[in-house]
Amino acid sequence: MGNNAGSIENADIDSISAPETENEILRQRKEKLQRLREEEGYDPYSVEKWNRTHTLLEVRCRYDDLQPDDKADNVEIRTAGRLMTLRRQGKATFADLADENERMQLYFQINEVGEEAYDFLKRWVDTGDWIGVAGYPCRTRRGELSIMVKEYKLLCKALRPLPEKWHGLTDTEVRYRQRYADLIANPDVRETFRKRAAVIASFRRTLEAHGTLEVETPTLSALAGGAAAKPFKSFHNALGLDLFLRIAPELYLKRLIVGMMGRVYEIGKNFRNEGISTMHNPEFTMMEVYWAYANYEDMMDLTEELVRSAAKAVGSLKVKWQDIELDLESPFRRVSMLDLVKEHTGVDFRAVTSDDEARDIAAGKGLKGELKGNESRFAILNLMFEELCEDKIINPTFVIGHPTEISPLSKRDPENPGYTHRFELFICGRELANAFSELNDPLDQRMRFEEQLRKKEGGDDETYEFDEDFINAIEFGMPPTGGLGIGIDRLVMFLTNSRSIRDVILFPLMKPKS
């Protein structure tokens, strides 16, 4: 096949895209692999190791000062990667080699690698294959930094062709379903996930600098608490017990504060049985942190520090998301939900004294279809904020003063018990963080859980669970505590200018193909 002028492999590679063409290449390459094993006695899948001394990025950094026609033939470079292109020209072949970070030209000359090795290259090596090469850096007459190959080894044979000419896989569904192909075809996607790792690393550095201990709490438990969401349910055969994937680690982490752990944090997966959108994936990553002797204002300061350190780790404090320019250096605005609703709707809920009046106001603002007829004025305040205000918050803003009714784990504002010491951070109309001065009164906590239980019995399946053991824990005494949760996926979206949460999750949940 390698020398068959009529094979698809020798067609214009830029024209290869149709599924039937891909299947034909797959068939031809399987045949070629079989002949390689039979004729050469060579199995590319038996190779276990290649001693790589340099990445391509290291080669570029060290030898980028070479001038045209210069070479450093006293240096041995041993590197490896995937062949992205092959351009055969008689007794010379040029190729593009890519590794995890960089791409560089390879230069094969028959008098450098030898006639036998060069013939093997022509007959058996294709684009998409992994190879190891040894040689020296040079710069061609045209100015291209290259590696003159003196020795090479086929490390792994690719049976499928590179996706969409290797440099333009654009079908969104294919990209998400076959992330491995997306990562091959789109180097910028690989960079997004490196930035994601840098964000998480920056969180760890910041929190550890504040003396915060990283811990792990259960992902699977008999009770899904800590947030108002519908859980995923499973069953443990040996125990004969219904179990749930966690929707939040909050109640376990606060048990650790009771247990005198001081300051703790966890970065891990949460699972919520909800719809999928550009901002929601049923499996997502959260960071939650709890500090003894702190309050929600300390958590606001910490949130600003965490967001800024993450932004610096991947770029700068000047961030562009879609068409919006954001300045993360300026202090984040701090404003109450009451004031935001008044600012954007003209309604001052401080003057609203009855539930009926609040429902009439909401209906007059176009929210009649959202009403069930039994909402309290506090629930209406939150509804109007969500429906009429959230999307207008562009610059980083801490929304404070949430109603107690919707904040069952937060301390009450002692001067206004209908509201709590809680905040949510919004950027570009999206919630990125949620934090409280944590409720540590076991009697008050029991009453709020009981209220949530009444809502559940009334048909609301997205309420907080009644966690008797958590009540038992805080009856041992939990010191004043500030708690914070940040959605890592959403933050990474903003810092990498990604439109969808699926763009920052390596393997987002997809409905199986029929």
Query: Is the predicted pLDDT of residue 10 greater than 90, yes or no?
Result: no
Confidence of residue 386 (pLDDT cuts 50, 70, 90): very high
Contact status, residue 442 vs residue 475, Cβ threshold 8 Å: yes
Query: Is the predicted pLDDT of residue 314 greater than 60, yes or no?
Result: yes
270-295 pLDDT, tens digit each: 999 988 999 999 999 999 999 999 99
Contact status, residue 442 vs residue 471, Cβ threshold 8 Å: yes
Q: Supply 150's token pair.
A: 């003196």
Q: Which residue has the higher pLDDT, 129 or 7?
A: 129
- At CB < 8 A and 24+ separation, what contacts does 304-311 make? 304/331, 304/332, 305/206, 306/202, 306/203, 306/206, 306/207, 306/486, 307/396, 307/425, 307/432, 307/491, 309/202, 309/203, 309/205, 309/206, 310/198, 310/199, 310/202, 310/203, 310/491, 310/495, 311/495
Q: Is 351 exposed, middle or buried (0-12, 13-18, 19+ CB in 10 A)?
A: exposed
Q: What percent of the chain has pLDDT over 70?
A: 94
Query: Is the predicted pLDDT of residue 14 greater than 50, yes or no?
Result: no
Q: How far apart are CA 485 and CA 306, in angstroms?
A: 11
128-163 pLDDT, tens digit each: 999 999 999 999 999 999 999 999 999 999 999 888
**CATH number of the structural domain 187-332+395-504:** 3.30.930.10
Confidence of residue 12 (pLDDT cuts 50, 70, 90): very low
Contact status, residue 435 vs residue 484, Cβ threshold 8 Å: yes
431-467 pLDDT, tens digit each: 999 999 999 999 999 998 888 888 777 777 767 788 8
- The mean of the pLDDT values for the chain is 92
Q: Which residue has the higher pLDDT, 16 or 234?
A: 234
What is the domain partition of the chain in residue ranges? 8-178, 187-332+395-504
Query: Is the predicted pLDDT of residue 392 greater than 70, yes or no?
Result: yes
pLDDT of residue 170: 66
CATH topology match: 8-178 vs 187-332+395-504: no
The pTM score is 0.90
Number of residues in the chain: 514
Beta-carbon contacts of 346 under 8 Å, excluding residues fewer than 6 positions away, are none
Query: Is the predicted pLDDT of residue 2 greater than 80, yes or no?
Result: no
Q: At what angle do helices 442-457 and 468-475 cross, to 10 degrees?
A: 170
Confidence of residue 393 (pLDDT cuts 50, 70, 90): very high
pLDDT of residue 117: 96
CATH topology of domain 8-178: OB fold (Dihydrolipoamide Acetyltransferase, E2P) (2.40.50)
Query: Is the predicted pLDDT of residue 7 greater than 80, yes or no?
Result: no
Q: Which residue has the higher pLDDT, 372 or 10?
A: 372
Query: Is the predicted pLDDT of residue 325 greater than 90, yes or no?
Result: yes
Q: How far apart are CA 114 and CA 163, in angstroms?
A: 32
Range among 318-322, 399-403, 466-470 with highest mean pLDDT value: 399-403
